[in-house]
Amino acid sequence: MNKFVKYIILFVLLVLLQVLLLENVKVFGINPICYVYFVLAFPTFVSNKIFMPICFLLGLCVDIFLNTYGIHAAACTAVAFFRPFIAKRTIEFDGIDSLDELTFKALRRNNYVVYALSLIFIHHFILFALQIFSLNLIFMVLWKTIFSTIFTFALLMVVQMVKSK
């Protein structure tokens, strides 16, 4: 299958999964955010000038369905901006600019865990900070960020293990 078509299908499936299913799954008041997998796994050889608008569109689609006023678009765009910096600092791989996917299977375990947790944490922190938008509630933002990051990471690891089999 063409890689372009593969990522369009992944884009649509993750948005639908997020807005139709996972938005209704809440554990201790938090829910996993699966569409961040698209940002994590997207090929590194694609220019950031192309990647950032794609991520903005991903977040905007979620915002449109959930009526969340652009907070998902802002968080996705920020993660797209930080991804090259975090990938180069966390992943010890010479050919990082030519990888088709940054997945658990393609990278060493420890490298992928640090890479994924860093980006998911940044995404969630920006998302919850914009959602709550109050310095008085910074501990709530941090609490939601930490637990949602763990919940999302666990979900993404399960998805990748199922996908690799």
DSSP E strands in the chain: the ranges are none
For residue 25, is it left (φ>0), alpha (ψ between -120 and 50) or beta? beta
Tens digit of pLDDT for each residue in 81-105? 999 888 888 776 555 555 555 655 5
pLDDT score of 147: 93
pLDDT score of 152: 92
pLDDT score of 139: 92
Q: How far apart are CA 74 and CA 130, in angstroms?
A: 9
**Structural domain for 7, as ranges:** 3-164
Tens digit of pLDDT for each residue in 100-110? 556 555 556 66
pTM of this prediction? 0.87
Tens digit of pLDDT for each residue in 148-161? 999 999 988 887 77
Question: In b/e form, how buried is each residue of 103-115, taking b as 16+ CB within 10 angstroms?
Answer: bbeebeeebbeeb
